[in-house]
């Protein structure tokens, strides 16, 4: 869709439509797209399994620490089935939440599950984090949950998140992390690398998506290294908090004021 809207906004809805420009999202993430296409219908159950049933608490914790203006514009990158998107929408009055995901099947489920009262607050769109077709300096907050592990170029995605957030705006991410406590660390690794694919095979009849999830965590940087990537992207006031013994972590950073 060609951007027909002027720079000066007439309404929040008009401004949002001006942000979302059409583009062919075909790229080198076909494997990831196919994996999440396969598990789209069971995505929420998968997340409950890998989080020991704690994922809803983790999402609520993420939203509780967000600095969101009541009339703010928020991007939920890698929105999946829209669970976090809806929670964020509950925090704003007169603003907008944009949910972006790589997988059409996820977007379809997110739209289907969205209650009618959120239709004027939430908008879903296809997109990939490495090349967001969104205007620079246009969002008050950019957030993601369990997205960064699945991107091809993590440094570029974090830079994109920083690019589109306004000066003084916040970037947040909730991700699976790597426990450091001896004993617990080894138990978790055994669960995630060995038991999780077996459980997935029984629950879904296919262990491949769960093996992918385990492998993606192995490749993903630990909490301290991810903090460093936030800082390398130019974000300031970067810090993180661990959840559930370091199984997950919330990172946040601020875009420097001009």
**CATH number reported for the structural domain that contains residue 33 in this entry:** 3.40.50.150
Distant-in-sequence, close-in-space partners of 199: CB < 8 Å, separation ≥ 6: 49, 210
> Would 214 be classed as within a structural domain?
no
Sorting pLDDT into bands at 50, 70 and 90, what band is 211? confident
Estimate the share of the chain in helix, then strand, then coil, as percent rounded to the nearest 5: 50, 20, 30
What is d(CA 84, CA 236) in angstroms, rounded to the nearest whole number?
Answer: 24
> Would 203 be classed as within a structural domain?
no
Q: What is the mean pLDDT of residues 214-243?
A: 94
Q: Whose structure tokens read 């999830």?
A: 213
Question: Which domain range does residue 152 map to?
Answer: 12-178+223-255
Q: What is the mean pLDDT of residues 111-134?
A: 93
Report the percentage of the chain scoring pLDDT > 90.
59
| pLDDT for 177 beyond 50 | yes
pLDDT per position as a tens digit, 27-53: 446 777 777 766 666 776 777 777 777
Report the percentage of the chain scoring pLDDT > 70.
84
Pair 129, 151: CB distance under 8 Å: yes
Angle between helices 208-219 and 30-39 (to 10 degrees): 130
HSE-CB at 178 with a 13 A cutoff on CA atoms is 15
In our burial notation (b when 16+ CB lie closer than 10 A, e otherwise), range 190-225 reads eebeeebbeebeeebeebebbbbbbebbeebbebee
pLDDT per position as a tens digit, 65-88: 999 998 999 999 999 999 999 999
> Would 197 be classed as within a structural domain?
no
Structure tokens at 159: 């830079």
Distance set, CA 93 to CA 27, 59, 69, 166 (Å): 36, 20, 9, 19
> Rounded to two decimals, what is the model's pTM?
0.84
Q: What is the mean pLDDT of residues 206-215?
A: 77
Structure tokens at 130: 């490495």
Phi, psi of 238 (to 5 degrees): -85, 130
> Would 232 be classed as within a structural domain?
yes
> Would 172 be classed as within a structural domain?
yes
Q: Domain count for the chain, please give it.
A: 1
> Would 208 be classed as within a structural domain?
no
What is d(CA 8, CA 13) in angstroms, rounded to the nearest whole number?
Answer: 12
């Amino acid at each position: 869709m060609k951007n027909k809207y002027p720079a000066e906004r007439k309404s929040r809805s008009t401004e949002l439509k001006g942000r979302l420009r059409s583009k062919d999202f075909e790229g080198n993430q076909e494997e990831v797209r196919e994996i999440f296409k396969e598990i789209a219908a069971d995505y929420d159950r998968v997340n409950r399994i890998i989080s020991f049933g704690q994922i809803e608490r983790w999402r609520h914790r993420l939203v509780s620490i967000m600095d969101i203006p009541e009339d703010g514009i928020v991007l939920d990158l890698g929105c999946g089935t829209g669970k976090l998107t809806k929670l964020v929408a509950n925090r704003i009055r007169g603003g907008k939440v944009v949910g972006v995901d790589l997988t059409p099947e996820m977007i379809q489920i997110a739209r289907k599950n969205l209650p009618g009262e959120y239709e004027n607050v939430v908008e879903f769109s296809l997109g990939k984090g490495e090349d967001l077709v969104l205007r620079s300096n246009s969002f008050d907050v950019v957030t993601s949950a369990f997205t960064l592990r699945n991107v091809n170029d993590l440094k570029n995605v974090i830079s994109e998140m920083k690019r589109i957030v306004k000066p003084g705006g916040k970037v947040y991410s909730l991700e699976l992390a790597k426990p450091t406590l001896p004993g617990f660390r080894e138990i978790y690794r055994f669960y995630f690398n060995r038991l999780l694919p077996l459980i997935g095979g029984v629950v879904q009849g296919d262990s491949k998506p769960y093996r992918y999830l385990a492998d993606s965590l192995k490749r993903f940087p630990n909490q301290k290294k991810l903090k460093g990537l936030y800082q390398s992207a130019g974000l300031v006031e970067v810090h993180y908090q661990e959840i559930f013994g370091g199984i997950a972590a919330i990172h946040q950073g601020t875009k420097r004021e001009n």
